[in-house]
Structure 1
Amino acid sequence: MTVKPLADAGAPETAAARRESLIGVGYGLAAFLFWGVAPIYFKLVAHVAAPEILAHRIAWSAVFLVLLVGLLRRWHGVVAALTSWRLFLPLLLSAAILSANWFTYIVAVNSGQVLQASLGYYINPLVNVLLGMIFLKERLRPAQIAAVALAAIGVAVMVGAAGQIPWIALFLGFSFGFYGLIRKMVPVDAISGLSVEAVALTPFALGYIFWLGNAGSFGAVGLATDLLLVAAGLVTLLPLLWFNASAKRLKLSTVGILQYVAPTGQFLLAVLLFGENFTPVHMVTFACIWAGLALYTADALRGNKGRER
């Protein structure tokens, strides 16, 4: 009797896992590349006031999310979150933080400060480490402490040399960090949580749009502007769906590395396409942040390999 090798029996599963990982990388690259070139979209609607862009982004995101939830038949999670104060109140807070983050990003892009926006999303992973230590009592490893310190030095260099605090970068990095912290602590899946956030904000968004009336851009400037404002919902939703599809298939450390694609794209757009001034002070600041991120990533990969053993 011939015994089939155990390695052969496991080969199909290995191939399937490898295929899922490749699909996950594809989705992750799609999401982060999209976020990396998103400033181009906001430049196209720069003639619309930032509050109105935000209102349309919220309203149309809610429309597309309702359609998606209906298509996927995920109403149970949404209804459960809407009818539980324990779930709804934290999501209301995360929605407010997310809308403030979106508004600041829109203002940054349309005021020619994409470089600061990219800096904010570069420091975000290190902000997450800091918030985990403060609020979740997570212990930092020496490499993580050094990474956060390098980021702090980079910001301090900009403050000392330029004489001003990079408020946009810090607000984007910390607001998205707090948003992620809240969402991590609330037991709601990604699509249901985002749907509840959109539904909670939509009355305010619609109220603002109707209050603007004829003074607003929608329906007054032209068809191209109307279509661009409607597209704000897709600009918001598509990369989030791709990100979720990626996160389900990849290790957290892999997703963490891929996320640097987005601020890198923003950085390149700021310097090469939008002509923003990249000074020696910026060079030192970004070098410190990049060094910190390299240290953080290397430490995360080492920790991941250790857990696999």
Structure 2
Amino acid sequence: MKNSTPQQQGYIAAMFAYIWWGLVPIYFKALNHVGALEILMHRIAWCVPTVMLFMWVLKQPIAIKAIWQNKKLFWALVASTILVSNNWFIFTWAVVNDRVLDTSLGYFINPLLSVLLGVLLLKESMTRLQWIAISIATLGVLNQIWVVGQIPWLSLALALTFALYGLVRKHTPVDSMNGLLVETLIAFPFAITVIIYLIINNQAQFLNHSSATDFTLMAGGIITAVPLILFAIGARRLPLYAIGFLQFIAPTMTFLLAVIVYKEPFDWEKGITFGLIWLALSVYLADMVIKRLRKIRQAAQSSVTNPN
């Protein structure tokens, strides 16, 4: 990457981040003999020293004191902690219980749900294509309810918690690393308490199963921090529309893992659901492209009319 431009570096970093997130079910599958709650508690606990180490290596200042003194900022991060912890737990539970396909569907739905939340909570306006995309996605969810006979609660819960998390963090002026550090610090006492309780009551796999299990649980901090750092590098160097396109790498890879590697059932009913969601995303992406082209055209016209 020595001779690459900052934007090229951004694409490489962001792509690796999304590939990492797309392959992360492999990590949780390696821990399918461990309860989802124990996995989550270790992920939180080991994330704290890992993030602090990365911040020290990257010479990024730790802003815990400033965040603590800003009560509005602190309580916003408490809210984001609750949301991201629930999101992590749902994802972990889904993977260890052979529901990887549901996680893929959830993260395909997420960007559309984020747009809808913007309209409902922030009174943002939607374009005609965005309305069409939301309507098609709704048909996909309804198909899952009527034809398959079940509400895709796992997918919807993942999409909703992550969309709300993104909404809170969007309006929380703190960088991603400090944000993650404070979020995990807030949850840290609870995580340590649960880990100790499980160990004392002989309900823990940590220190009781194998050294491989112990080290894999401890790696939860790295699994969480590395893609976030890569994403932060990419986000600083790339325009928003590029991130919008790249975000679909992760659920696509997760989908392929679920169907090809883990052989999860994928019948025609689920095919219709996914097909409708993918069609909705195609409309959503078309809207992004149109907006981007419009901005380029307006910028070109502005430079012609105002050459100086």
Query: TM-score, normalised to structure 1's length?
Result: 0.92
Aligned to 1:10: none
Contact residue 77 and residue 189 of structure 1 kept, 8 A: no
Q: What is aligned with 2:173?
A: 187
Equivalent residue for 1:90?
A: 76
Aligned to 1:121: 107
| Aligned: 1:293 with 2:281 | yes
Distance of 1:212 and 1:250 partners within structure 2: 44
Q: CA deviation at 1:73?
A: 4.5
1:78 aligns with 2:64: yes
1:148 to 121, 126, 134: 134
Question: 2:18 matched to 1:32?
Answer: yes
Match of 2:217 in 1: 229
Question: Which deviations, in whole Å up to 9, do the C-alpha atoms of 1:245-266 show, x marking residues without a partner?
Answer: 1111111111111110100011
**Residue correspondence of structure 1 range 1-309 to structure 2 within 5 A:** 19-75=5-61, 77-213=63-199, 214-308=202-296, 309=299
Q: CA deviation at 1:298?
A: 1.3
Is the contact made by 2:148 and 2:270 (CA closer than 8 Å) also made in structure 1?
Answer: no
Match of 1:4 in 2: none
Counterpart-to-counterpart distance in 2, 1:21 and 1:27: 10
Query: What is the letter of the counterpart of residue 305 of structure 1?
Result: L
The alpha carbon displacement at 1:294 in A equals 0.8
Once the two structures are TM-superposed, the CA of residue 190 in structure 1 deviates from its matched residue by 1.3
How far 1:21 moved relative to its partner?
Answer: 1.6
Q: 1:69, 1:108 → 2: CA distance?
A: 31
For the aligned residues, what is the CA RMSD? Answer: 1.3
Shift of 1:227: 0.8
Distance in 2, Cα, partners of 1:76 & 1:278:
46
State the Cα deviation string for residues 94-148 of structure 1 (Å, max 9, x = none). 1011010000001111111111110000010101110111122211000001011
The verdict on how the C-alpha distance between 1:135 and 1:218 changes in structure 2, with shifts beyond 3 A counting, is same
- The aligned counterpart of 1:12 is none
Conserved in 1, the CA contact under 8 Å of 2:55 and 2:62? Answer: no
The answer to whether the Cα contact below 8 Å between 1:25 and 1:246 also exists between their aligned partners in 2 is yes
Which residue identity is paired with 1:256? G
SS at match of 2:243: helix
**Partner AA of 2:133 in structure 1:** A
For the Cα contact (< 8 Å) 1:95–1:198, is it kept in 2?
A: yes
Query: Identical aligned pairs, as a percentage?
Result: 40
Which has the larger share of helix?
A: 1
Q: Which amino acid aligns with 1:44?
A: A
Structure 2: where are the runs of 5+ without partners?
300-308
Q: Answer whether contact 2:176 2:232 (CA < 8 A) is retained.
A: yes
Is the alpha carbon distance of 1:188 and 1:112 closer, same or farther for their aligned partners in structure 2, counting shifts above 3 Å?
same
Change (3 A) 1:76 1:117: closer
Using the TM superposition, give the Cα deviation of residue 22 of structure 1 relative to its aligned residue in structure 2, in angstroms.
Answer: 1.3
Q: How many residues align?
A: 293
What is the Cα deviation at residue 78 of structure 1? 2.5
Deviation at 1:69, TM superposition (A): 2.9
